[in-house]
Structure 1
């Protein structure tokens, strides 16, 4: 004759089994492909339900400015305070915001004239990925990023030509532009 198990033993066994299943599914899900965010979502179709919840939209990436040149280049927009890295086909592969200094370059076409891995900026901040491309009002104009990733402090009346960016954007710009790489400055 078989002995009957008390109810607490059944509950403990079932709980342990359920926990093991949940852990196994979590491990399996962790090793599965993860979804990535879509860059744009289509708008609702005509057949969409009137009660459907709105889909969130990804902010539009600013378009490459008109008349910014042709071919592989760095495009810097004074008004948008933004840089685009443009490949040889004319496609902007990356764009990012920047913090300009107090002295702006004139709109025009330039080339990277000097690259310096790191130094102390004229504002006293340690910077890296420094890429000089022109002079304006006696001030060297260059792209760079602060070593600590911070935005530049207020200028306090100084003439500064540094165009600062986030650390990861500075690394991308450094990898993209060698000495001689074209730079287009637009309004």
Structure 2
């Protein structure tokens, strides 16, 4: 009399076989040419080339200003309303636009003199990541960002030295610059 296999043995055998087949197909698929999605330009007709792709180029960030110093530093362009974070090799690692205050620092070399985690700005807005680096006519000049991420309101004729940043840029600047970090101000 022939012995019958229990049902669990059949199920285990079928599962093992199916798993081996799926693995073999996955390996085969991974080695095959990968499809490329075609992207059409708005208003353009379909391309005759089946695998044509269009990659939009991100606008190039403005170059680090000449004569902005050497080594690890923060560079602030008054006219460009832009900041660059520059590593020890002189390479910009991040750049971003800012909202300057009504009092501009003179071009020159400074350093971060004081860092304050958060406070209420002279315009009444709660700010964070405050990094002071100079004083102009009795007005402190500092980088900061609003806690809520907003841009500063118009100054209404008041003297303000706050250089406001977008929230994520404020966090990056705070991580980058300690007390004593060099700040180069250029036109």
TM over 0.5: yes
Does residue 136 (structure 1) correspond to residue 115 (structure 2)? The answer is no
C-alpha distance in 2 between matches for 1:181 and 1:53:
44
**How far off its partner does 1:58 sit?**
1.3
**How far off its partner does 1:55 sit?**
4.8
Does residue 113 (structure 1) correspond to residue 113 (structure 2)? The answer is yes
Task: Look up the match of 1:73.
Answer: 73
After TM superposition, the runs of 4+ consecutive aligned structure 1 residues lying more than 3 A away are: 52-55
**How far off its partner does 1:54 sit?**
6.5
C-alpha distance in 2 between matches for 1:53 and 1:167:
34
Q: How does 1:141-156 map to 2 (within 5 A)?
A: 141-156=141-156
Aligned residues: 137
**How far off its partner does 1:88 sit?**
0.3
Q: Which structure 1 residue ranges, 5 or more long, are not aligned?
A: 1-48
After TM superposition, the score normalised by the length of structure 2 is 0.71
Q: Which structure 2 residue ranges, 5 or more long, are not aligned?
A: 1-48
Task: Look up the match of 2:166.
Answer: 166
C-alpha distance in 1 between matches for 2:57 and 2:172:
26
Deviations 1:98-132 (A, max 9, x none): 00000000000000000000000001100000000
Give the root-mean-square deviation of aligned CA atoms: 1.3
Deviations 1:62-102 (A, max 9, x none): 11000000000000001110000000000000000000000
- Quick check: which has more Rg, 1 or 2? 2
Deviations 1:139-177 (A, max 9, x none): 000000000000000001110000000011000000000
C-alpha distance in 2 between matches for 1:176 and 1:144:
13
After TM superposition, the score normalised by the length of structure 1 is 0.71
